[in-house]
Amino acid sequence: MSKRKEKIVEQAGQMLPSWEKPADRSLGEWIEKSRVARFESRTYDWNALKFQADFDPKYKRAQCRYMGTGATGVASDSGTVPSEHFTFSTMILPAGCEGPLHVHHDAEEVFFVLKAEKLRLFFELDGETAETVLTSRDLISVPPGVYRGLRNEGQEEALMCVMLGTSKPIVPDYPDGHPLMELRKRRREIAAAAESEKLSKAS
């Protein structure tokens, strides 16, 4: 075992596969090909949450993934840096649009606002509600189990960094009775029925 690997195992508890430099690559090749995600090779994915915007246009927003895939339900993205402990993406939220009230039970979520005139965040926990307004260069950390949503009340699109504190976040839940929770249930039922039909045709 190399000294680097020994030190990592000693201090981090394990050596994860994506932290290993492949023997057939130089350090520069390894860094450039698997540890760097350049903006010029990114595209904003307006389809990651399109099912929400199709339900109501106010939910329109786009994700640009850099590390891992986040919690939008996108299964994989070969152009991202491997995620071992957290995900990192940027999000565009057009003026007047919002991210619906939702909850992550498996991870802390951090928003760092790169650009926004007035980004209102709203929260709910055990029947209690709260709000705060963020502008450019503000940050907020939302603990697991706290419902959160956000609305761009400015005149221009907002741009923010979004980080989730786990490598593969679980798709979030919405409050009971929220139309998107009902939509999500219907989508799962349709997917399950399609899978069942596929299996019955194969047998």
Architecture of domain 43-172: Sandwich (2.60)
Question: Do the Cβ atoms of 85 and 67 come closer than 8 Å?
Answer: no
Asked if pLDDT for residue 201 goes beyond 90, the answer is no
Cβ partners under 8 Å of residue 109, min gap 6: 141, 142, 148, 162, 163, 164, 165
pLDDT digits (tens, 9 = 90+) for 31-82: 999 999 999 999 999 999 998 999 999 999 999 999 998 888 888 888 899 9
pTM of the model: 0.85
CA-to-CA dists, residue 187 to 70, 101, 200, angstroms: 20, 19, 20
pLDDT score recorded for residue 186: 77
Residue 116 one-letter amino acid: A
pLDDT score recorded for residue 106: 94
- What single string gives the DSSP state of each residue in 72-95? SS----TTSBP-SS-EEEEEEE-T
pLDDT digits (tens, 9 = 90+) for 110-125: 999 999 999 999 999 9
Question: Do the Cβ atoms of 109 and 73 come closer than 8 Å?
Answer: no
Whole-number Å distance between alpha carbons of 152 and 62: 13
Q: Locate the domains of the chain by residue range.
A: 1-36, 43-172, 175-203
Cβ partners under 8 Å of residue 11, min gap 6: none
- Mean pLDDT for 155-166 is 96
Whole-number Å distance between alpha carbons of 191 and 198: 10
